[in-house]
Amino acid sequence: MNGHAENSRTETAPVVVTPAVLREWELPSAGASKYDRGQVVVVGGDRRSPGAALLAAEASLRVGAGRLTIALAEGAAIMAAVALRESGVVALPERDGQIVGSSIEAARDDLEPADAVLVGPGLDDAEQTLALLDRLPALVGDETTVVLDAYALGVLPRSKARDAFAGRLVLTPNPGEATMLLEAMDDGAGSDDEGAGSGDDGDGSADDDIERTVRALARAYDAVVSCQSRVAHPDGRLWLVGTGHGGLGTSGSGDVLSGAIAGLCARGVAREEAAVWATYAHAAAGDRLAVEVGPLGFLASELLLELPRVLVEVG
């Protein structure tokens, strides 16, 4: 279904996410093997920031995905294979530390059977990311869920992937990125500045602005959108996650969230349910660490161990 059709849908009142709401969306069983829990490919990790891809990749396993591959810059491939021994690794050729976009072809054998593909964590060159994203539709299966984060969001308005993946996209922008993506649709051109826009018009209604922006973004891109504790579906539904602590605003936290969403999508969870589950688990993990470590100063990597505990406690 295209974005224009979704624009005609009626918006519903936001649903506040509680454990009771989540229990109505029972997560899939463990299955008999890792293949029953889905295959994830994380594409990201330029030489300067491979840790972002590793955080996202591990998060996908922590929420129960069965098989994982990371496609990242060749200069970081050996380190990644050692750091996350549970993952397969595809070394992508690079230029000046950035993955060459056309080199994504090297990951074809892993991308084709993937149930969920996450693109963006640790990529830091807009033009190479655009070249990579443009090639992706020809490499993944027709039913693959595609999760976009970071630079992959910044180039999406200019990419062929925008239309190719409509109806199976999950976007994980911050409020500034969400505003930029909407403005790009209006302007007919994209910006690669991740910090563009604020979503706050200065009248004290920042929360209302974010809600409107997230709903509009979901419709415009025919995507499920997770943005600052809000999850929107293109059909007008919106969920609000009331938990979550300010300490989540730390380096790598968004990578953990996007990886958790990809992992749940790979397990066969509907993309809106996966986004709500992951957004809640990510926020609840932050709450737990705020008590155990302190309101500030816990690390994104510490969220990883909390994710399966939250899922068990809620489920």
Domains and CATH numbers, the chain: 3-187+205-314 (3.40.1190.20)
Q: For residues 284 and 312, is the Cβ–Cβ distance under 8 A?
A: no
Q: Are strands 39-43 and 67-73 parallel, antiparallel or unpaired?
A: parallel
| CA dihedral (91, 95, 98, 100) positive or negative | negative
pLDDT band for position 247 (cuts 50, 70, 90): confident
* pLDDT attached to residue 199: 36
Query: What's the chain's average pLDDT?
Result: 90
Query: pLDDT for 156-170, tens place per residue?
Result: 999 999 999 999 999
Per-residue pLDDT, averaged over 121-135, amounts to 97
6 has pLDDT over 90: no
- Who wins on pLDDT, 246 or 73? 73
Give the Å distances, CA to CA, from 143 to 127, 148, 217, 233, 276. Answer: 27, 16, 22, 18, 20
pLDDT at 204 over 60: no
Is the per-residue pLDDT at 50 higher than 60?
yes
> Would you say the pTM of this structure is higher than 0.85?
yes
Give pLDDT, residue 245. 72
**Residue given tokens 């380190």 in the structure block:** 79
Report, as an integer, the average pLDDT of 5-17: 71
Annotated binding-site residue numbers = 52, 122, 254-255
143 pLDDT higher than 70: yes
Write out the binding residues for AMP: 254
Is the sign of the CA dihedral 271, 272, 278, 281 positive or negative?
negative
Q: What is the pLDDT of residue 201?
A: 40
Strand segments (E) across 108-144: 116-119
Average pLDDT over residues 18-30: 93
CB-CB contact of 75 with 47 (8 Å): yes
pLDDT for 310 beyond 60:
yes
- Of 101-105, 134-138, 205-209, 212-216, the poorest mean pLDDT is in 205-209
**What is the predicted pLDDT for the residue at 7?**
44
Whether pLDDT at 29 is above 60: yes
Dihedral of CA 145/278/201/7: which sign?
A: positive
Given this model, what pLDDT does residue 205 score? Answer: 54
CA distances from 188 to 98, 120, 159, 166, 191 (A): 27, 22, 12, 17, 10
